[in-house]
Amino acid sequence: MTYRVGSAQGFYGDNVLSALPMILGGHVDVVCFEALAELTLAILQKDKLKDPNRGYTFDLAIIASKILPEAYQRKIPLICNGGGLNPQGAANMVRDTAEKLGLKGIKIAAVTGDDVLSRLEELNEKGETLAHLESGAAFQPGDYPIANANVYLGAAPIVEALKNGADMVITGRVADPCLYLAPLIAHYDWAWEDWHRLAAGIVAGHLMECTGQVVGGNSLAVIDTLDSRDLNKLGYPIAHVEADGSFILTNTPGLPGIVSSETVKEQLLYEVHDPAQYITPDVVADFTTLKLDDLGDNRVRISGVTGKPRPEKLKLNLGRLEGYMRELIFTVGYPEAWKKYEQLKTMISETWRGLPIDRVEYSFLGINSLYGSVAPLPADPLELVIRVMFTAKDETTLKNAVRLMMNNGLSGPAGMSISGSTIGADPRIILGLYPTLISRDHIMPNIAYLEV
């Protein structure tokens, strides 16, 4: 018997209801939901500042009300890192929902300990320099306000919660593929030094953690073979994992999508640096030894994954509030489109003279906005859509900059227009991600259980 792991979420806002056909069809033994991109925790911090009971992903409410009742009835555990900055608050919400739905006997686990925002000074005093992972530069606490500081935890607390009978495990920052590794360790009792098997579980998780991306989403490989009408109906992936770690990756039966060697290769290298050293908190996986066998019928077998001992330190990401950005889109047309662009540029710099604006960047939509200098510029274009991006430390400066530009509405270059929806838009936060490493000794995950 293989153990079947389903993946029903790849980002905050994904279609978590894709878990239902997996569960109702009897196709999975556990379902994992991966909700946290690098930026997500900082977004959740904004929610938490407004309401201390929040700070978790809204998707969890859908999981609790629509998916948990079906999963609990069939004894299929659910694992989700969408607890974000408040796994305990999320667990409280799930418990309240379970109570209302009459799910007697249900056990919910909340994993905390990844959030070290309030401990940065203490960690600094304990000898953690928190030097920047890429540049090596020393940490300067006063540089910018810090929105969040979360350590990437591994699979261990989830494994413990599952072994203690949790029906749903809610975590904060757990490294994405470790969410999927955890139920495999719990089920097969893999040892913590069984590097090859742990690495195989990581590869399974890595392939599934972006849901639709391995069944034909975001895929050049299937651009000619996948029906466009199916793109919004893709099934999400399921791995059938053997005790030795080898597994068959497949789609949710009966749903559209393509799982082939080609789609698996695309996802295998997605967000990967050195493929021989894919670093996770639990193991360093080597993707260069594995073998893919396309078995047909949307089934690809992956075997031969090898692993090396886990890294000594854990990764810690700080999110720093560096300011705000704003977008305005202007259009000019033939004749003299380039001259009109130069006039606009001059008018903007004259108008904003004296305002504390940090950066102004220009690009031309449909010409070079994606590919910069790779794209050749036309000599005498019929139309130019000019995108102006500008930044400041505070929102008020950006609002003033827009207002002052609007005052020029009838004085600009001939035929110039401004996209109305960009005039009314809100500024967006600029978040600087600051990655660093931290000793494992300082991080003690905690598990709280709630029962109905």
Partner 1 sequence: MPKRLYDIAYGRTGDKGNIANISIIARTPQAYQDIKAKLTAERVKQQLGDLVLGEIVRYEMDNIEALNFVCYDALDGGGTRSLRIDPLGKSLAGALLYMEWED
Q: Cβ of residue 163: shortest distance to partner 1, in angstroms?
A: 32
φ, ψ of residue 438 to 5 degrees: the values are -145, 145
Residue 440, CB-side half-sphere exposure with 13 Å CA sphere: 9
Q: Please tell me whether residue 222 adopts helix, strand or coil conformation.
A: coil
Q: Does residue 99 interact with partner 1 by CB under 8 A?
A: no
Nearest approach in angstroms of CB 387 to partner 1 is: 6
Q: How far is the CB of 160 from partner 1 (least distance, A)?
A: 29
218 counts as binding partner 1 under rule CB under 8 A: yes
C-beta of 15 vs 289, nearer to partner 1: 289
Query: For residue 195, which of 308, 84, 80, 85 has the smallest C-alpha distance?
Result: 308
Residue at token pair 């969410």: 179
* Exposed e or buried b per residue across 118-144, where buried means at least 16 C-beta atoms within 10 angstroms of its C-beta: ebbeebeeeebebeeeeeeeeeeeeeb
Record the tokens describing residue 90, joined without a space.
């999320």
Site string for partner 1, 105-144 (x = CB under 8 A): -----------------------------x----------
**Shortest spacing between CB 339 and partner 1, in angstroms:** 24
Could you tell me the two tokens for 284?
């360093």
17 binds partner 1 (CB under 8 A): no
Among 228, 373, 407, 411, binds partner 1 (CB under 8 A): 373
Map the footprint of partner 1 across residues 381-420, applying CB under 8 A. 387, 389, 391
**Among candidate residues 97, 29, 21, 24, the one with its CA nearest the CA of residue 58:** 97
As a whole number of angstroms, the distance between CA 367 and CA 23 comes to 46
CA atoms of 63 and 9, how far apart (whole Å):
10
Contacts of partner 1 in 228-287 (CB under 8 A) = 261-262, 265-276, 287
C-alpha to C-alpha distance for 436 and 318, rounded to whole angstroms: 8
Q: Please report whether residue 371 would count as binding partner 1 according to CB under 8 A.
A: yes
Q: 3-state class of 355 per DSSP?
A: coil
Q: Which of residues 325-344 bind partner 1 (CB under 8 A)?
A: 325
Question: Looking at 9-17, 172-180, 197-205, 372-380, which segment touches partner 1 (CB under 8 A)?
Answer: 372-380
* 421 is an interface residue for partner 1 by CB under 8 A: no
Footprint (CB under 8 A) of partner 1, residues 288-317: 288-292
Which residue ranges make up the site for partner 1 (CB under 8 A)? 38-39, 42, 134, 218-221, 261-262, 265-276, 287-292, 319, 322, 325, 359, 361, 363, 365, 369-374, 387, 389, 391, 430-433, 435
